[in-house]
Amino acid sequence: MASVALGLGSNIGDRVARCRQALRELSGVEAIRIVRHSSWYETRPVGHTGQPDFVNGAALLETMLAPLRLLETLKDVETRMGRSVTWDKGPREIDLDLLLYDDLVLGQPGLDIPHPAMAQRAFVLVPLAEIHPDLVHPEHGRTVSDLLDDLRPVDHLVRYHAAP
């Protein structure tokens, strides 16, 4: 089984409900087991700021799926949940990002592991540090907690719900 870190986000409709639904959808896939997930955080959009705030979280999974097959599964869940194409970094019903897959470093069309921008994104690192602060980024050789310390302060992140 591979260990996977996943980022979740939504800024359309009931954002928390959409993220929770995505976790339920993934838990229904036989080859995926959700180990734990973070609280939900309300975050400001990156890039196009003229859109609603996001709710973001992170989850740790175990899977028997190869990276490309896992990515296909994530995209299938997004499609079933009504993800529509807007513009790059635009509004999203649901967004599922494959952040880390074991200690794999992979770069190919359509899939980069680790996720290329995760080390610079507080909305990824804060929830991930909540559930696995000692997780090591395979390219930087540093923990999620250390990477987050580089970004502080992160006042623009607000804990949305105390309970996951």
Q: Identify the structural domains of the chain with CATH numbers, from first to last.
A: 2-161 (3.30.70.560)
Catalytic status, residue 97 = yes
Euclidean distance between CA atoms 74 and 146, whole angstroms: 28
Catalytic status, residue 149 = no
Tokens coding 108: 């190919």
pLDDT of residue 90: 61
| Candidates 18, 20, 92, 121; catalytic one | 92
Q: Let me know if 6 is exposed, middle or buried by CB neighbors in 10 A (0-12, 13-18, 19+).
A: buried
User: What is the per-residue burial (b if ≥16 Cβ within 10 Å, else e) of 44-68?
Assistant: ebeeeeebebbbbbbbbbebebebe
Catalytic status, residue 83 = yes
Q: What is the mean pLDDT of residues 114-134?
A: 96
3-state secondary structure of 154: coil
Q: For residue 13, is it left (φ>0), alpha (ψ between -120 and 50) or beta?
A: left
Summary mean pLDDT of the chain: 91
| Candidates 15, 18, 20, 97; catalytic one | 97
Instruction: Quote the pTM value.
Output: 0.92
Catalytic status, residue 92 = yes
3-state secondary structure of 27: helix
| Candidates 15, 18, 20, 95; catalytic one | 95
Q: Does the pLDDT of residue 163 top 70, yes or no? A: no
| Candidates 15, 18, 20, 83; catalytic one | 83
Write down the residue that tokens 């580089």 correspond to: 150
